[in-house]
Structure 1
Amino acid sequence: MRVIGCHGTTRTNAGSICTTKCFLPSGSEKDWLGSGVYFYDNNQEAAYAFCKSVKRIADEDIVVVTAIIDSVFYFNLLEIEHYNLFSESVKRFRERVAKLKNAKCYPKILDGHVLEAICKEILFDFVYAAFNVNNNYKRAETRIVNPNIIDSDYNNVLCVKNVQCILSDTIRG
């Protein structure tokens, strides 16, 4: 799968990325798709809007860096087979936690927790998923969208786990 990734960041970070031709993964399993480098699929406007509304970066300091991400080892949650594996894994995680004596002490099982565990078993380079732009995900058990119900209110997002699949000579800011 080959994707033109759009990563919104600060002017300072963009300068560093373009100079070193390297992205540094960040975050944790508590993030939506787990730890990694997040990109919108060929959507500079969405990357910019995310920086402005979620990261609260000032307009004049937002830069969208683009790069080509290319790999045959990916976990595509828009494919029903991968989505079903994810859904079954979430179910099993919740069942196991519920059986523990101190289950109430455990935090809510998040999408990132499950995807990090799947990544350790399958060893994929990136996760590809649809993000609901109208905030309906906040009421759901998971923010991963069933590929059978995707409509125009979604942006495709990927989380790169292995930065080697980001083609360094294509990084532009």
Structure 2
Amino acid sequence: MYSTKNNLLIGFHGCDESIRDALLTRPHYIHKSERPFDWLGHGVYFWENNYDRALAWAKDKARRGEIKKPSVIGAVISLKHCFDLLDNQFIDALVTYYNLMVEYYNTIGKNIPENKDAKFDKFKDKLIRELDCAVLEFMHQKISEKIEKDVRENGFSTFKNFDSVRGVFTEGGPAFEGAGIQKKSHIQICIRNPNCIKGFFLPRKEIEFQ
């Protein structure tokens, strides 16, 4: 019962300025990422309460020529039914689905995807997460299939599709010599159900208040 998170939180999405402006004026214009290496599976990605990290990510994309003008848009989010990888029960569940996926892939003669290093990443943080993405998407598919089967046979299901996925990541190399703290550590949110996004806003700079 603790998978339901009804509280609101702030997320920041790094993107091109054109995407930011489109989301502000047309908030239903939401592009879902479906790349095979998405860290938390397919969905809309946000840095949890981390504007600076979102902007740095967008600037990195601009330096590689992937976007033109780096920008950030904020969002008010409810995670709702969340697959939270900061909670051990969900990590244990993911291991179970990984084992099922390995068994299935072996049956059909398909190679298991692997997490790989990006060419530009000198810290070798396995930024191309094809394995993680595949396991999460396999899990979501199996849950959806179970729900459809239950509804077809019984008229209802006790299973629910997850609205969001949340995970913590450490990357970017040590913050200082000998540190266990990494420079780019963050909490990332993947929104699968767009109804979790309550609204977008243009982040503003803090001013002195007296």
Give the TM-score normalised by structure 1.
0.77
- The answer for the alignment partner of 1:92 in structure 2 is 100
Match of 1:16 among 15, 22, 31: 22
Equivalents in 1 of 2:73, 2:186: separation in Å? 17
Report the more deviating stretch, 87-96 or 10-19: 87-96
Task: Say whether 1:80 aligns with 2:110.
Answer: no
Check conservation: 1:25, 1:163, Cα contact below 8 A: no
Alignment of 1:55-134 (within 5 A): 56=64, 61-100=69-108, 102-104=109-111, 107-108=113-114, 110-120=131-141, 121=143, 122-134=160-172
- Compared with structure 1, are the counterparts of its residues 57 and 15 closer, same or farther at alpha carbon in structure 2 (3 Å cutoff)? farther
Report the more deviating stretch, 123-132 or 108-117: 108-117
State the Cα deviation string for residues 21-52 of structure 1 (Å, max 9, x = none).
23221223432212111100000111112122
- The answer for the alignment partner of 1:3 in structure 2 is 9
The Cα of 1:63 is off from its aligned counterpart by 1.1
SS in 2 for 1:110: helix
Residue identity opposite 1:115 in structure 2: L
Check conservation: 1:10, 1:57, Cα contact below 8 A: no
Task: Say whether 1:37 aligns with 2:44.
Answer: yes
Once superposed, what is the RMSD of the aligned Cα atoms? 2.7
Equivalents in 1 of 2:169, 2:97: separation in Å? 20
Check conservation: 1:51, 1:57, Cα contact below 8 A: no
Equivalents in 2 of 1:57, 1:8: separation in Å? 15
- Structure whose alpha-carbon radius of gyration is higher: 2
Report the more deviating stretch, 13-22 or 87-96: 87-96
Q: How many residues align?
A: 156
Structure 1, unaligned runs of 5 or more: 137-150
Check conservation: 2:80, 2:196, Cα contact below 8 A: no
Equivalents in 1 of 2:87, 2:65: separation in Å? 33
- The answer for the alignment partner of 1:172 in structure 2 is 202
Higher helix share: 1
The Cα of 1:71 is off from its aligned counterpart by 3.4
Match of 1:161 among 181, 192, 203: 192
Residue identity opposite 1:131 in structure 2: F
Equivalents in 2 of 1:90, 1:27: separation in Å? 19
Residue identity opposite 2:100 in structure 1: R
The Cα of 1:165 is off from its aligned counterpart by 0.7
